[in-house]
Amino acid sequence: MGSDRFRLDGQVALVTGGARGLGQAMATALAQAGAAVCVADILPAEETLRLVAAAVHPGHALVTDLTDLDPDGAAVLVQRVTEHLGAPTILVNNAGIIRRAPALSHSWVDWQQTITLDLSVPFLLSQALARQLVARESPGKIVNVASMLSYQGGYLVPGYTAAKSGIAGLTRALANEWARYGINVNAIAPG
């Protein structure tokens, strides 16, 4: 059996923030496990697509600014993945930002941008994917990227800590609510 337990043949994955770093590594690993992978990032993802193609699985990149995402935009993004690779069953909510400043001087703009990209966007994309999965009566998997700061609090990163703490709570809430639909929701906390 071995590594066959982790095969994802026939699955389609959407990875946000997959143009570099952890997102690129996760997109590549998903492709190596057999999934077709779509990367959504504000940056071009040619290198990631080369790595995905090396695994002999199709890949596609959507260059998009997720900070403007609303519920309709989330549904459209999931639909665009379906048009290019097939209906997604895996979502990795990896895209995020961090703004460093003391809490006393942390700007409202930095707070809003961080909460939007690091917490609101994962909720919107999870909801959009889950709606499709439930309508198709298909199981699925959602992986949220939290942070060790979800538990430790951090220093000079109040917006990021709040957002990543929210991701940890949101993950538990969605896991509880969507388990009955066969949608598995987990978070990882790199660090």
**What is the per-residue pLDDT across 16-75, written as a single tens digit (0 to 9) for each?**
999 999 999 999 999 999 999 999 999 999 999 999 999 988 899 999 999 999 999 999
Give the Cα separation of 16 and 53 in Å (integer).
18
Whether the predicted pLDDT of 1 surpasses 60: no
Give pLDDT, residue 2.
Answer: 53
150 phi, psi to nearest 5 deg:
-60, -25
Mean pLDDT of 86-99: 98
Give the active site residue among 151, 155, 160, 181.
160
Give pLDDT, residue 159.
Answer: 98
What CA–CA distances, in Å, run from 66 to 17, 73, 103?
Answer: 9, 9, 25
pTM: 0.96
Give the Cα separation of 186 and 183 in Å (integer).
10
Query: Are the beta carbons of 44 and 53 closer than 8 angstroms?
Result: no
Q: Which residues is 59 bridged to in the sheet?
A: 37
Give the Cα separation of 119 and 115 in Å (integer).
5
Task: Tell the burial category of 66 from Cβ atoms under 10 Å away from its Cβ (0-12, 13-18, 19+).
Answer: buried
Query: Are the beta carbons of 189 and 163 closer than 8 angstroms?
Result: no
What CA–CA distances, in Å, run from 151 to 3, 91, 127, 165?
Answer: 32, 23, 25, 7
| Helix H or strand E encompassing 177 | helix 158-178
Give pLDDT, residue 58.
Answer: 86
**Whether residue 155 lies in the annotated active site:** no
